[in-house]
């Protein structure tokens, strides 16, 4: 079954702790993306990667970090420097950056 | 940066009614995507429009992009409870710019369909 998986679906962390969100795809897509969604707002791009071992900052990269060591994996770390980390995080992938994006089910992060 | 404005922000209709959601850009669009989202879930790709005047349909949903490529509409005919959710438009940069697949999204339209 091809698709994008994100884990876990719900994540709770204490303030000041770093946390890593998982995103895996078996669609053989080159491009992968991380978005953040807050209530009443659309999606905002955090980081994106056009190809393995390369990634670029999106519109709201401060307080986040990523890696792209494997084609199928694009983990996102929410660091303690992120001022307001509680949000719904969505990962997406596309065959190339010029195709439609396919989204994972999302991870809801709550920082207590 | 490009901004996308969706209207209305929310919509409540009776089953069987037609409805339209609009997405307006401040700049000429390179590509316009429509997605649907159930609350707390990922986005489902609906349609992509690229040419001025283009129109695409899938089942009871029709999306159009105006000739100037600054406004798109999503029309649902004979709405059903299964159409309920959040509809988001996303734009892939603007004409003359460099997009690299970066999508800018509107704030979403929440659709409720009463049986």
Q: What is the CATH number of the domain that holds B100?
A: 2.60.40.10
B48 pLDDT tier (thresholds 50, 70, 90) = very high
Task: Provide the chain A residues 14-53 that lie in CB contact (below 8 A) with chain B.
Answer: 31, 33, 40-45, 48, 50
Q: Is the pLDDT of residue A47 over 60?
A: yes
pLDDT value at residue B102:
75
Contacts of B35 in chain A (CB under 8 A): 103
DSSP B40-105: TS-EEEEEEE-STT-EEEETTEEEEE-TTSSEEEEEESS--GGG-EEEEEEE--BTTS--TT--EE
pLDDT value at residue B14:
97
CA torsion sign for A10, A13, A16, A22 is negative
Q: Is the pLDDT of residue B96 over 90?
A: no
Cβ separation of B48 and A98 shorter than 8 Å?
no
pLDDT value at residue A40:
76
Owning domain of residue B78: 4-114
Cβ separation of B101 and A92 shorter than 8 Å?
no
Which of B19, B7, B1 has its CA nearest to residue B72?
Answer: B7
Q: Say whether residue A88 is in contact with chain B using an 8 A CB cutoff.
A: yes
- In this prediction, residues B3-23 reach a mean pLDDT of 96
Q: Are A67 and A32 in contact (CB under 8 A)?
A: no
Higher-confidence residue: B104 or A5? Answer: A5
Q: Is the pLDDT of residue B28 over 60?
A: yes
Cβ separation of A43 and B105 shorter than 8 Å?
yes
Per the structure, the count of domains in chain B is 1
A38 pLDDT tier (thresholds 50, 70, 90) = very high
Q: Say whether residue B103 is in contact with chain A using an 8 A CB cutoff.
A: yes
A5 pLDDT tier (thresholds 50, 70, 90) = very high
B98 pLDDT tier (thresholds 50, 70, 90) = low
pLDDT one-digit tens code per residue, B50-61: 889 999 999 999
Which of B17, B15, B73 has its CA nearest to residue B47?
Answer: B73
Phi, psi (degrees; rounded to nearest 5) at B81 = -55, -30
Bin B69: left if φ > 0, else alpha if -120 < ψ < 50, else beta: left
Q: Say whether residue A61 is in contact with chain B using an 8 A CB cutoff.
A: no
Q: Say whether residue A63 is in contact with chain B using an 8 A CB cutoff.
A: no
């Amino acid at each position: 079954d091809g698709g994008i998986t994100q884990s876990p679906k719900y994540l709770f962390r204490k303030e000041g702790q770093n946390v890593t969100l998982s995103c895996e795809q078996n669609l053989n897509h080159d491009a992968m993306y991380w978005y953040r969604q807050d209530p009443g707002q659309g999606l905002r791009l955090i980081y994106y990667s056009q190809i393995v071992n390369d990634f670029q900052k999106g519109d709201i990269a401060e307080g986040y970090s990523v890696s792209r060591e494997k084609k199928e994996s694009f983990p996102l770390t929410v660091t303690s420097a992120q001022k307001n980390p509680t949000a719904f995080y969505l990962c997406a992938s596309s065959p190339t950056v010029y195709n439609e994006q396919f989204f994972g089910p999302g991870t809801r992060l709550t920082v207590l | 940066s490009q901004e996308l404005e969706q209207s209305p922000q929310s919509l409540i209709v009776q089953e069987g009614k037609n409805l339209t959601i609009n997405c307006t850009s401040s700049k000429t669009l390179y590509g316009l995507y429509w997605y649907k989202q159930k609350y707390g879930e990922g986005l489902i790709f609906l349609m992509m429009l690229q040419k001025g005047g283009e129109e695409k349909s899938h089942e009871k949903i029709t999306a159009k992009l105006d000739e100037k490529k600054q406004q798109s509409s999503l029309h649902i005919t004979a709405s059903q409870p299964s159409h309920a959710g959040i509809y988001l438009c996303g734009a892939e940069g603007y004409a003359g710019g460099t997009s690299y697949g970066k999508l800018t999204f509107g704030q979403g339209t929440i659709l409720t369909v009463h049986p």
